[in-house]
Amino acid sequence: MIYLDNGATSFPKPASVTESVRNAMRYSGGSPGRGGHKNTLKAGETVFKTRELLGEMFSCESEGVIFTDNCTTAINMAVKGVCRKGDIILTSTLEHNSVLRPLVKLEEKGIISFETVRINPLNDDDTVNNFRKAMSKNVRAVVCTFASNVFGTVLPIQRIGRLCKEQGVIFIVDGAQAAGALSIDMKRMNIDILCLPGHKGLYGPMGTGLMLLSGRVMPEELTQGGTGSFSMEKEQPLVIPDRYESGTLNYPGIAGLCSGVEFIRACGGEKTIHQWETELVKVLENDLSVIKGVKLFPHMKSSVCAPILSFNIGHRHSEEVSALLDKHNFAVRAGYHCARLAHENYGTAEKGCVRVTPGFFNSKKDIKNFVFCCNKIALGKKM
């Protein structure tokens, strides 16, 4: 199988990641932050080391690194934790359902209203102006993606962050497709809350996610319970990260995530990874563009983009193309990518599209073989 679906989850994981998960389960499986025996303290040390690494990577304090189950949970915690009755929330036309659905739910309950701001992939000034025009006194927060999970379009995050700061608006960013591939600096970009998956570009196992807090905004916690601290107090502690981490942490997952982040550092950082993945996307784009019947969506791309390329072949539905590719052992993601807004706004709602997301472990040969297979599909040859 040639795996080209790293936008869904990265695969394979670095060997050090699987080794760390195994070691955590086999040798030091104490519950971090609970009790005082050697195993639990060792687990706590690893969890803290992971917080420190992530804090350095994204420019926030280590205690602002909150572990969650996944990016969606983190977005729910952030959005539902900051919204108050009567608030207006701004979001973008490129959002994943992980942003859209919590907003729809809050609107249905009569708590907030939200407005979708149009993104112009080719003109950042236009995008920022659209956000500026949508600002009003009841706008509480901007919630938007760093990079589209369908087209790879990167939003002008730093400029939107500056605008939010000027207007006193909370800035929540979904960095699902960007973390590990693009540099995200919470301080420089004025991001108040950054939500991330651990299992995509950070190479951790599935079941790991993050809500990173700048410290400027403290959302209400959605769950209360045991934190391993202040055990004799009835109320949830306000100290972070404990406030947001009730219940036992996914220690094996976090140990794996720690090794994933160390892997990125050992490779030379996200810049090195992004360079390679972008090179693969360029080869793919060049080679697919000469195949008759292939429709690429590069016009959705900004000058800097996440390593994602989407396309369709002829009149076939994207799912049909994906199934044919799967028959030939190519793993890609077709359909609507949990991103109704993006597909509706950019003209791909009818057939969806085939999304290719190469990873750091893919070679140019993988891409060439993939293009060869696409060519056969486009020609309608028996496969």
Binding site for another protein (CB under 8 A): 32-33, 35-36, 41, 44-45, 48, 51-52, 62-63, 227-233, 237, 239-242
Nearer to another protein, 157 or 261 (CB): 261
Minimum Å distance from CB 44 to another protein? Answer: 5
306, two tokens: 């996440």
Minimum Å distance from CB 97 to another protein? Answer: 32
Distance CA 46, CA 25 (A): 13
Nearer to another protein, 228 or 352 (CB): 228
Nearer to another protein, 42 or 105 (CB): 42
Minimum Å distance from CB 245 to another protein? Answer: 9
Instruction: For CA atoms 286, 288, 290, 295, give the dihedral sign.
Output: negative
What CA dihedral angle connects 182, 183, 189 and 193, to 10 degrees? 80
Nearer to another protein, 63 or 185 (CB): 63
The SS3 assignment for 209 reads strand
Minimum Å distance from CB 266 to another protein? Answer: 20
Minimum Å distance from CB 63 to another protein? Answer: 5
Minimum Å distance from CB 250 to another protein? Answer: 16
Nearer to another protein, 5 or 242 (CB): 242
Minimum Å distance from CB 45 to another protein? Answer: 7
**136, exposed or middle or buried, with CB in 10 Å at 0-12, 13-18, 19+?**
exposed
Nearer to another protein, 43 or 139 (CB): 43
- With contact defined as beta carbons under 8 Å apart, do 254 and 47 qualify? yes
SS3 content of the chain, % helix, strand, coil (to 5): 40, 15, 45
Minimum Å distance from CB 15 to another protein? Answer: 27
Nearer to another protein, 41 or 331 (CB): 41
Nearer to another protein, 231 or 303 (CB): 231
Distance CA 55, CA 61 (A): 5
Distance CA 57, CA 270 (A): 10
The SS3 assignment for 65 reads strand
User: In terms of Cα–Cα distance, which of 172, 181, 377, 178 is closest to 291?
Assistant: 377
Write b or e for each residue in 312-345: b if 16 or more Cβ atoms lie within 10 A of its Cβ, otherwise e: bbeebbbebbbebbeebebbbbbbbbbbebbbeb
For the chain, list the strands marked E by DSSP.
2-3, 65-68, 87-92, 112-117, 139-145, 170-174, 193-197, 209-213, 294-296, 309-313, 330-331, 354-356
